[in-house]
């Protein structure tokens, strides 16, 4: 028979050796639990009793930590892993961030699962970590699909922005030519010097450049040569008569329809400026409707 001294400093027993072995198996006693044999007055740890050596070895925890002695307060409940919660939140946010936060969520989810498995019950939340890992991975797999959907839209937006910039350039060049004519007896500048003549009226050199024009050119627009030498009042249909139009490039270029780029630069259309000052995007099917003669 034996007596045991619990963590609450209370004596338990007398009990049999089999009862103590059962307590060891249940985790209510361990090698550090103080015990006293019935025939002895000495208290010593159970680990020093040969009859309990096998039971203690069988009950030893994987981490090598002995179970609490009888009468000790119950262990605190395991905490939920913060990494597991963060992983799930970041994984769900991947829907709004195109998968950017999902990459972090995937990493945190894996780390959380590893830490929970190593905590020996001190951490919980493996389900949250697993969910965060799966959700994050799913959104990362969707990133290529997002990209396939987003990139064409971005390309269209960029092309539209460049078209708007080209239209604004032609508007400014149109206005500069009209102002030049007003200052020079209603005559447009000569075709061989019209870009130079517009410098005082259009001081920004980038106005002469189409965002989609060939690089290395000083100007991507041409003057309608048919208007050179004619007064503005001689133009019978200013709203239909071309004044400025796109070309492949060159400084002080003047001519007619033959100078248009072989392929329209703006979603299948050319930018034209007209004598009345307005600007249009004109598709090839409408080119025959334009006027070049005054």
Taking Cα atoms as reference points, which of 178, 174, 169, 97 lies closest to residue 140? 97
pLDDT, position 268: 92
- pLDDT score at 66: 52
Task: For residue range 228-258, list pLDDT tens digits in order.
Answer: 989 999 999 999 999 999 999 999 999 999 9
Structural contact between residues 207 and 195, judged by C-beta atoms closer than 8 angstroms: no
**Predicted confidence (pLDDT) at residue 93 exceeds the cutoff of 70:** yes
For 4-45, what is each residue's pLDDT tens digit? 887 777 888 788 888 888 888 888 888 888 888 888 888 888
Residue with tokens 């060159």: 250
Identify the bridge partners of residue 223 per DSSP, sorted by sequence position: 244, 254
Q: Using CA atoms, how far apart are residues 72 and 88, in angstroms rounded to an integer?
A: 37
Residue 64 is predicted with a pLDDT of 46
Considering the entire predicted model, what is its pTM? 0.53
Residue of 166, 114, 199 lying closest to 270 (CA atoms): 166
Buried b (16+ CB within 10 A) or exposed e, 246-272: bbbbbebbbbeeebbbeebbbeebbbb
- Give the range among 61-75, 132-146, 162-176, 267-281 with minimum mean pLDDT: 61-75
**Domains of the chain: which residue ranges?**
2-59, 79-151, 156-289
């Amino acid at each position: 028979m034996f007596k045991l001294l619990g963590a609450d400093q209370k004596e338990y027993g007398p009990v049999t050796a089999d009862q103590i072995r059962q307590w060891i198996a249940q985790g209510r006693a361990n090698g550090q639990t103080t015990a006293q044999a019935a025939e002895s007055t000495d208290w010593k740890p159970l680990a020093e009793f040969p009859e309990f050596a096998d039971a203690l070895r069988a009950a030893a925890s994987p981490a090598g930590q002995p179970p609490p002695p009888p009468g000790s307060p119950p262990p605190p409940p395991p905490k939920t892993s913060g990494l597991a919660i963060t992983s799930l939140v970041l994984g769900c946010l991947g829907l709004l961030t195109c998968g950017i936060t999902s990459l972090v969520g995937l990493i945190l989810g894996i780390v959380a699962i590893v830490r929970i498995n190593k905590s020996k019950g001190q951490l919980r939340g493996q389900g949250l970590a697993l969910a965060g890992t799966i959700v994050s991975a799913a959104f990362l797999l969707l990133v290529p699909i997002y990209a396939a959907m987003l990139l064409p839209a971005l390309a269209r937006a960029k092309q539209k922005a460049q078209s708007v910039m080209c239209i604004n350039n032609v508007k400014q060049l149109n206005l500069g030519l009209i102002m030049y004519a007003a200052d020079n007896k209603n005559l447009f500048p000569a075709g061989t010097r019209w870009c130079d003549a517009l410098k005082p009226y259009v001081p920004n050199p980038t106005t002469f450049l189409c965002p989609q024009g060939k690089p290395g050119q000083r100007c991507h627009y041409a003057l309608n040569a048919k208007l050179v030498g004619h007064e503005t009042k001689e133009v019978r249909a200013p709203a239909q008569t071309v004044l400025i139009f796109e070309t492949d490039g060159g400084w002080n270029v003047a001519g007619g329809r033959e100078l248009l780029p072989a392929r329209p630069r703006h979603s299948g259309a050319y930018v034209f400026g007209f004598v009345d000052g307005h600007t249009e995007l004109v598709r090839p099917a409408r080119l025959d409707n334009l006027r070049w003669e005054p």
